[in-house]
Amino acid sequence: MQILVISDIHANLQALQAVLAAAGPVDAIWCLGDLVGYGPNPNEVVETIRSQPNLLCVAGNHDVAIADANMDIRAFNAQAQASVRWQREQLTPDNRQFLQDLPRRPKIQGAVTLAHGSPRDHLWEYILNTRIAHSNFHHMRTRLAFIGHSHVQLGFEQKDGRHTHLLRIEPGQPITLQGRSAVLNPGSVGQPRDEDPRAAFAIFDTEAETWLPQRVEYDVETTRQRILAAGLPPRHAERLLHGW
Ligand code: ZN
């Protein structure tokens, strides 16, 4: 099976459409959360995701904050809070319910754990270094974990159950996962923060057990203009141009 793995779409419809087109026909889509937050098209993004066949999706911290109108959002910075409030008002009841119903803990699919932040702290922990990756391997009941949240396309491997190191991830270069223990982040569709403004995603081939990280250009300018026109924080528009 060819599985499209995506995360952190953040209400960026242009980026999501570019990723779906670039991925082409796939057998399933695994979505690691944060469909909404930051961007200008929360309803359109939720509806596009909901309509995908063979979808498996877990909740991200923004999905939970936006679906639960009573959740305390002081953990977000001021600009993210402004975006959360705007998106709460925009969402249709149906789309809010979809976000509300997303699983808030990791999902296991065969050899893979799917989590938003990390296997041990589904909603909030960032895996950005080998130390945090290393301690998460002890919380995995599977050989592999696919995660999002940091908006950085990266991966870590653990060898002999002891040593954890960063994997070399190059867009367009498949890595084989057979017999290996790894934590992989496909990067962010709608708000990359690894200094590459292109939308990020990965294709997981379950038979060959390969992971193919990819990037695709999208119409950043349209998303940028829509963020500004909606009165959302300008920083969330500008950062898209540079991928930070
Ligand atoms: Zn995110």
Confidence of residue 72 (pLDDT cuts 50, 70, 90): confident
Q: Choose among 65, 30, 31: nearest CA to 206.
A: 30
Helix (H, G, I), strand (E, B) or coil at 112: strand
The CA R_g of the chain, rounded to the nearest whole Å, is 17
pLDDT at 126: 97
pLDDT at 70: 84
Contact 167, 182 (CB under 8 A): yes
Q: If you measure from the C-alpha of residue 106 to the centroid of ligand 1, how many angstroms do you get, rounded to a whole number?
A: 16
Q: Which two tokens stand for residue 117?
A: 């932040």
Q: If you measure from the C-alpha of residue 122 to the centroid of ligand 1, how many angstroms do you get, rounded to a whole number?
A: 12
Q: If you measure from the C-alpha of residue 26 to the centroid of ligand 1, how many angstroms do you get, rounded to a whole number?
A: 24
Please compute the mean of the pLDDT values over residues 167-176 and round it to a whole number. 97
Q: How far is CA 217 from CA 2, 3, 13, 143, 235, in A?
A: 22, 20, 13, 32, 20
Q: If you measure from the C-alpha of residue 201 to the centroid of ligand 1, how many angstroms do you get, rounded to a whole number?
A: 14
Q: If you measure from the C-alpha of residue 59 to the centroid of ligand 1, how many angstroms do you get, rounded to a whole number?
A: 11
What whole-number percentage of the chain has pLDDT above 70?
100
Please compute the mean of the pLDDT values over residues 59-67 and round it to a whole number. 96
pLDDT of residue 162 exceeding 90, the answer is: no
**Model confidence over 206-244: pLDDT tens digits?**
999 999 999 999 999 999 999 999 999 999 999 999 999
Q: If you measure from the C-alpha of residue 166 to the centroid of ligand 1, how many angstroms do you get, rounded to a whole number?
A: 21
Helix (H, G, I), strand (E, B) or coil at 78: helix
Q: If you measure from the C-alpha of residue 142 to the centroid of ligand 1, how many angstroms do you get, rounded to a whole number?
A: 24
**Model confidence over 12-35: pLDDT tens digits?**
999 999 999 999 999 999 999 999
Longest dimension (CA), the chain: 53
Q: If you measure from the C-alpha of residue 150 to the centroid of ligand 1, how many angstroms do you get, rounded to a whole number?
A: 7
Q: How far is CA 68 from CA 72, 82, 95, 118, in A?
A: 9, 15, 12, 21
**Model confidence over 106-132: pLDDT tens digits?**
999 999 999 999 999 999 999 999 999
Q: If you measure from the C-alpha of residue 8 to the centroid of ligand 1, how many angstroms do you get, rounded to a whole number?
A: 4
CA distance 72 to 155: 32
Q: pTM for the complete prediction?
A: 0.97
Q: If you measure from the C-alpha of residue 199 to the centroid of ligand 1, how many angstroms do you get, rounded to a whole number?
A: 13
pLDDT at 69: 84
**Model confidence over 75-114: pLDDT tens digits?**
888 888 899 999 999 999 999 999 999 999 999 999 999 9
What whole-number percentage of the chain has pLDDT above 90?
93
Q: If you measure from the C-alpha of residue 10 to the centroid of ligand 1, how many angstroms do you get, rounded to a whole number?
A: 7
Q: If you measure from the C-alpha of residue 195 to the centroid of ligand 1, how many angstroms do you get, rounded to a whole number?
A: 15
The residue with greater pLDDT, 130 or 71, is 130
Q: Choose among 53, 51, 19, 6: nearest CA to 151.
A: 6
Q: If you measure from the C-alpha of residue 60 to the centroid of ligand 1, how many angstroms do you get, rounded to a whole number?
A: 7
Q: If you measure from the C-alpha of residue 193 to the centroid of ligand 1, how many angstroms do you get, rounded to a whole number?
A: 10
